[in-house]
Amino acid sequence: MSLINFTTREITCKIVYYGPGRSGKTTNLQYVYDRVPGERRGRMVSLATQTDRTLFFDFLPLELGTISGFTTRFQLYTVPGQVYYDATRKLVLQGADGVVFVADSQARQLDENIESLQNLHANLLAQGVDVRTLPLVLQYNKQALPRELVLPAAELDDALNFRGVPSFPADALTGNGVFETLRAISELVLRRLSEEPSA
């Protein structure tokens, strides 16, 4: 849920990067962080295990300038992908204005992608969120791996994109598709925010 501060004229929106373990959620945020000018971003906080997996969340406030006289900030989070951190995933997902689902394009990861997407929907429903209206973008990461290892974006769309939401082939290591994904979810979140009735 967006936070609107009328005193400081700021809108803060929360975007959560969700997906299976090692799909590239943290890599997405790291790529954005490394390329956004210092005055337009906050400090990134990352809590990771020894195996370099995100244990809790990454937080990257990203300032997008002024919209209707309000300074707009996006706080970007990732959730841990591992199933046994489900309680943490639920906690990080609370109050999300939009979700980027980062799928691992490797063919051998398809079942894990489907399970993680089902977990996302279950966690949103448990929080009373209408999954049909929450802004969602799919990213098919690791598309730069050898062709024989990955599923094409069209096949991933058939398997995962039942809502017909925007989807992007990507390679977070090189940055291909990273900002396109972020731009798409940001636009969806802002459009939804502008359509909400004023309090």
Give per-residue pLDDT as tens, 45-56. Answer: 777 655 555 544
Low-confidence ranges of the chain (pLDDT < 50): 55-56, 199
Query: Beta strands 70-78 and 10-18: pairing type?
Result: parallel
Residue 121, token pair as written in the block: 């929907």
Strand partners, 101: 18, 138
pLDDT score at 27: 93
pLDDT score at 6: 87
Query: Domain 3-195 class?
Result: alpha beta
Average pLDDT, the chain: 88
